[in-house]
A = this chain, B = another copy of it.
């Protein structure tokens, strides 16, 4: 049904919920909103109002303003990023990505970028063949 074009927020929320891990019901109970509504939000059928967003932020381990930014309610204003090491200017790392990945052990973090590298090389060879 819903091979949703763009549902950033729903996916993010769901991922975060699963990662915790929580069921919809438990999250609903902790946040004080209905599980059915949360389900629809994750599915992209509803868009959470600011009130709902505020309620589910902490149970999901988000800062309120973080979630608001992800929802597009606030514009991403501070250049955030993986500052624990100022030196690496890199472009910009998405704060959400930084946050999720930062919770993993370093080996896992490196493994992840290893996978990324592999995928990129595969993609490259594919475009090569098709030329």
Residue of B nearest to A88 (CB): B99
Which residues on the B side are within 8 Å of A117 (C-beta)? 15, 18-19
Q: Is the CB of A102 within 8 A of B113?
A: no
Given contacts A54-B73, A113-B97, contact A78 B81 (CB under 8 A): yes
Q: Is the CB of B89 within 8 A of A84?
A: no
Copies per complex?
Answer: 2
Q: Is the CB of B82 within 8 A of A74?
A: no
Residue of B nearest to A108 (CB): B116
- The distance from the CB of A30 to the nearest CB of chain B, in whole angstroms, is 16
Which residues on the B side are within 8 Å of A95 (C-beta)? 81-82, 84-85, 87-88
Q: Is the CB of A109 within 8 A of B80?
A: no
The 8 Å CB contact of A50, one of B50, B97, B105, B110, is B50
Interface: A130 (CB within 8 A): no
**B-contact bits for A100-120, CB 8 A (1 contact / 0 none):** 111111101110111111001
Given contacts A84-B95, A93-B102, 6 further A-B contacts (CB under 8 A): A19-B120, A54-B75, A78-B81, A90-B101, A97-B112, A112-B115
Identify 11 residue pairs between A and B in the complex whose beta-carbon atoms are under 8 Å apart, listed by A's number: A12-B110, A49-B50, A50-B53, A64-B74, A65-B74, A73-B73, A79-B83, A82-B102, A85-B98, A88-B99, A94-B109
